[in-house]
Amino acid sequence: MWSSKDVYYVSDSTAILAESMGRGLLCHFHETSFNEEKIPFVLTKEDADKAIKYILSRSEGRLPLIFCSIMNEEVRQIIDAPQVEFFDIFAKHLDRLEVCLETKAIREVGHSRHGDDLTLAKRVEAINYCLSHDDGTKTWDYDNADIVLLGVSRSGKTPVSVYLATQMGFKTGNFPLTPEQLENYELPKDIVRNAKKVIGLTTTPELLHKVREQRYSGSRYASRPTCSIEIRQAQQIYAKYHIQTIETSGKSIEETAVQAAQLLGIARKTLRF
């Protein structure tokens, strides 16, 4: 068994697709560590020669893994060297789809990242909304949000909001539950009015304590009793206002974001870029 492997994501475009597909497969192998690197914009035979020479010089005969999304067959064949383990992201899939759909695939470089102007505009709008509605800002404008995230301090609201906006195209605001809300078990009217689009994030006291300790070590704010009390108060608020919740401990940002969209029944509206 390999304890570690070099992994390269090689593409004639940004390499984002090759990386996403590769990581989706590699995450199932927990006992092996991976040294990853992206090599984007391999467009010509000369680019491919440079790329494979670089890879082989770095891997030193260790049979590196290459996840490749290059469309040009001649360029792709250069990367598919005997000294590597080669995985073609598009191999056979496009051919099979052409048969199933009874039409020819476009097979254009970087076509997967092309979007129409309307889609791009919506994405920019979602990002701008997220940035201007972070940490309880402009609650009066939650009527225009797709999702509003609630949670105690350091519960992961901002990173999940950013993912929902940048990767899924949802206008997302987030609101921190401060002592004012926690002790009175009350939410602002702007949130109550939009309760159907609100998701409450919760976690374990142990994890929250660990996260807060990293920035405020030894403080009352980061203590286990404080974390336990705040989480319990937040959960009671969620119950009072019938707000759907997500337990984030053990989940990635991506998993939490997708679950939030699913709970609100808007996952089908996810934008594709």
User: 72 with 134, same domain?
Assistant: no
Q: How far apart are CA 68 and CA 62, in angstroms?
A: 18
pLDDT at 54 over 50: yes
State which residues form the domain around 231.
117-269
pLDDT number for residue 267: 67
Is 147 in the same domain as 46?
no
Q: Give yes or no: residues 99 and 124 share one domain.
A: no
The whole-number pLDDT of residue 25 equals 86
Residue 176, H or E segment: strand 172-177
Q: Report the CATH number at residue 40.
A: 3.40.50
Is the pLDDT score of 220 beyond 60?
yes
| pLDDT at residue 272, rounded to an integer | 41
* Domain co-membership, 90 together with 214: no
pLDDT one-digit tens code per residue, 95-140: 777 788 788 777 766 555 544 455 667 888 998 999 999 999 999 9
What are the structure tokens assigned to 266, written together?
A: 């808007």
- pLDDT above 70 for 270: no
Number of domains in the chain: 2
How confident is the model at residue 218, as a pLDDT?
A: 95
pLDDT of 269 strictly over 60: no
| Residues 6 or more apart in contact with residue 31 via CB below 8 angstroms | 1, 3
The pLDDT of residue 96 is 76
Q: pTM of whole model > 0.85? A: no
What integer is the mean pLDDT of 192-217? Answer: 96
Which residues in 42-66 are b (16+ Cβ under 10 Å) and which e? bbeeebbeebbeebeeebeeeebbb
**The predicted structure's pLDDT at residue 123:** 80
* 180 or 96, greater pLDDT: 180
